[in-house]
Chain A
């Protein structure tokens, strides 16, 4: 549909020579107020038997015909002196009406027109840049997998010979009948698999013993998560040699709850280069089920070959719907991701930056016992059920304001006085504390001193 142009007050004139029905141009007597740019239609011999409309362009007084016999007229011969002037045609009005009624293939696009209030499905729309993709990375909460980008490793960066149900990178735990080596790996700058998203770390899982299922899982809190909905699981993976990963979404109904339901599974064949794999699965309704304590939707990445293998994992995402959108952290920014992880586990001095880290403060109740409190950086999922730490005799001491104190002999916590926001520690020394004097639990000149609080599912 080519655009045509018109102007008002174009003076009727005449042609200065005769033309046949196939002539391609003619000179007109004058061009007062005629347009000299763009195409327009003219009528020759209006009202006469040979009336003809033509599509034309004008340069000076030379009219060049683009189409003869235009607008359902017939190309004909015209004598010198025949009247001619610009005139709109039925085609102009018809095209305008067609355009008004069109819902696609107008305004320079081939698809449908997008209405601001119409319910429509949009695909491949660019709201932020020229890559024709929506920049979803700005949105927290889309991804239900916490630490899918493997950014947070509070418990350490290398786990050798670990067995079943052992946490590694935050939120990720092993599922195996054997033992495995899980390590943090660092992307070489510019080598992360997603253009424009410079990932820092990825997880590597290697079998230490074979003849068993091997894999790594993450529990999404509360089995109500995505119940009755379709979700898409996606992950970037590769292996040192071709192998397979079976992805299973399992509904775990918690302690005292209904029997576990495997919602569905698929098997990905891994190559030796990073590739994004996706799995769309319908999570069953939980109608009629009994939900116990600590229920979860468990996303499992398992190798069922019973053979030796090593795979790498990064950019794990689970989202509502049947489309895998661009990867983003569950917590949005890095601090949000850390806070999301610390809802389940918090380790003081996990970054090993402090040689005399303080792990709690309180007072002595006797010459051998001090009760100390510590506030958690974020409220934990539930009141913590466990603490973990290195050898107390090597790494901890109870210290008062005069630098008096003693190396600790035991460390525990008091479940009756611990909340999801405040931990209550019980430090034991052989002797030397002064009753009612304030004390802190302090690292003993080592960055390796740490204290972890667990509220995992």
Chain B
């Protein structure tokens, strides 16, 4: 479950639920993580999931 909210300043936050635990983070941080979350390859020189 992902929910997006705004604070009094207009900042957007993403709330993520996983097995009953919740994480709230800035939407910009969440978007950056999603963009860089490339899975490592199976080659001998895999790339980090950065």
B interface residues, how many (CB within 8 angstroms) = 31
Residues of B8-36 whose CB lies within 8 A of A: 8-9, 11, 13, 15, 20-26, 29, 32-33, 36
Q: Is the CB of A386 within 8 A of B24?
A: yes
Q: Is the CB of B45 within 8 A of A388?
A: no
Q: Is the CB of B23 within 8 A of A416?
A: no
Q: Is the CB of A213 within 8 A of B42?
A: yes
From B32, which residue of chain A is reached at the shortest CB distance?
A255
Chain A interface main SS type: strand
Q: Is the CB of B39 within 8 A of A387?
A: no
Select one of A260, A386, A391, A426 contacting B23, CB under 8 A: A386
User: A175-B40, A385-B26 known; A412 and B5 CB under 8 Å?
Assistant: yes
Select one of B5, B24, B33, B44 contacting A387, CB under 8 A: B24
B10 to chain A, nearest CB (A): 9
Enumerate chain A residues within 8 angstroms of B22, measured Cβ to Cβ.
388-392, 411
Q: Is the CB of B20 within 8 A of A248?
A: no
B45 to chain A, nearest CB (A): 6
Q: Is the CB of B11 within 8 A of A415?
A: yes
Q: Which of A29-37, A74-82, A91-99, A299-307 contacts B (4 or more CB under 8 A)?
A: A299-307
A270 to B48, CA, bound (A): 22
Interface bits A283-313 vs B (CB < 8 Å: 1, else 0): 0000000000000101010101010000000
A248 to B41, CA, bound (A): 14
Q: Is the CB of B20 within 8 A of A246?
A: no
Enumerate chain B residues within 8 angstroms of A302, measured Cβ to Cβ.
40, 46
A415 to B44, CA, bound (A): 41
- The 9 closest A-B CB pairs, nearest first, are A386-B25, A177-B39, A388-B23, A213-B40, A385-B29, A416-B9, A252-B50, A164-B49, A412-B24
- Given A390-B22, A412-B15, list of 16 further CB < 8 A pairs? A164-B39, A164-B49, A165-B37, A175-B40, A176-B40, A212-B42, A217-B48, A252-B50, A296-B50, A300-B48, A385-B26, A391-B20, A391-B22, A411-B24, A415-B9, A416-B9
